[in-house]
Amino acid sequence: MDNWRHICVDMQRLFAEDTPWHVPWLKLVLPPIEAVVDRFADRTIFTAFTPPKNALQSPGTWQAYYQKWWMMTGEHLPVEMTGVVTSLARFIPPARVFTKTTYSPWVDGTLNRTLRSEGVSTVVISGGETDVCVLATVLGAIDLGYRTIVLEDAVCSGSDPTHDASLKLLNDRFSVQLDMCATEEFLRDA
């Protein structure tokens, strides 16, 4: 395979633990994600969704979002909750973390500049949530011209119907620019 990086989306304590944003399926996708990170820690980039200190520190409609989710802002949520889950954090370094304040990790340009400077042409995506941050990560990668691989058994959501719909959408509508595969298949061919 060409020069690639594994982007592991938002596998953070604030989604794994008992918070209003808890994603029960997260623990079920940890084993395949751990298998990829264990083998390719030096090629892994964790994204970390980082809420603002308070709603007023966010632009536009993000203020309304954080007024609804006030308990998930920095004033109320301990900063360590934004960290990568313990079983994956042990791989940092050599794995790296890119923080973001939106669903997409591409908005501020840092991740794309880093990948381009390293000659990366393919991104392999795992993590959560399939219908929010994973979807934004995938669509941004496609827009930027990366060959994109989604590990379909290593993504999760808090909503089964929208998880399934997102995988169907990605597979049906983006088949020229996107490959979907099982983690075992990816590891066998990597």
Is residue 149 included in any domain, yes or no? Answer: yes
Domain count, the chain: 1
Residues 141-184: tens digit of each pLDDT: 999 999 999 999 999 999 999 999 999 999 999 999 999 999 99
Residues 66-88: tens digit of each pLDDT: 999 999 999 999 999 999 999 99
Is residue 166 included in any domain, yes or no? Answer: no
Is residue 61 included in any domain, yes or no? Answer: yes
User: What's residue 190's pLDDT?
Assistant: 87
CATH of the domain at 111: 3.40.50.850
Range of the structural domain that residue 32 is part of: 4-159
Does residue 29 contact residue 69 with C-beta atoms inside 8 Å?
A: no
User: What's residue 161's pLDDT?
Assistant: 95
Is residue 26 included in any domain, yes or no? Answer: yes
pLDDT surpassing 80 at residue 1: no
pTM across the whole model: 0.96
Is residue 76 included in any domain, yes or no? Answer: yes
Is residue 121 included in any domain, yes or no? Answer: yes
Is residue 183 included in any domain, yes or no? Answer: no
How far from 59 is each of 47, 79, 101, CA to CA, in Å?
20, 21, 10
pLDDT surpassing 70 at residue 36: yes
Residues 42-51: tens digit of each pLDDT: 999 999 999 9
User: What's residue 44's pLDDT?
Assistant: 98
Is residue 181 included in any domain, yes or no? Answer: no
Does residue 110 contact residue 98 with C-beta atoms inside 8 Å?
A: yes
